[in-house]
Amino acid sequence: MNNPVGVYMEKIEKGKIVGFAIVKESGLSTLILEDPKGNKVVVPCEHPATARAFDACYGGVLRIDGTADQTNLIGKVLYWSFEETGLVLGAFTPEDEAGDVLLREYELQHQ
C-alpha cells in the first residue's frame, strides 16, 4: 500500500542494531537498538518471524537449532516501527533499502 507523506499511522524510528537476544521459552526475542542520539532502545519481537526476516535481509542469522546468530546483525541500521498494539516490532526496513517516501516520512515525524 502506498502512503502519501504525512499519513503513516505508526511512528517510524531509526536505530543501529547492538544486540538481539532470544527468550526461547516465551517465543519472544529482544532487539536492542541505539537511536540517532545514542540512547539504547529495547524492542520486544516475535522470535521466529523476526529471526526469519533478519535472515532474509542479512543472511546467516538463523541457526539449525532455531536460535539466532547476531553476528551479521550488529551494526546494521534500520528504520522500524511497532505493530498496531505498540507491544512488539511490527516492521523494519534496512537503511540501504529505504525509499524516498519512508525517508521523507521519518524526517517529517522527527522535525
The tens digit of pLDDT for each residue in 39-72 reads: 999 999 988 888 889 999 998 888 887 778 888 8
Q: What is the pLDDT of residues 24-38, one digit of tens each?
A: 778 888 999 999 999
φ, ψ of residue 9 to 5 degrees: the values are -80, -35
Encode burial over 66-77: b for 16+ CB neighbours within 10 A, e otherwise: eebebebbeebe
φ, ψ of residue 10 to 5 degrees: the values are -95, 155
Q: Walk me through the domains of the chain, giving residue ranges and CATH numbers.
A: 13-109 (2.40.50)
Say if CB 21 and CB 66 are below 8 A apart: no
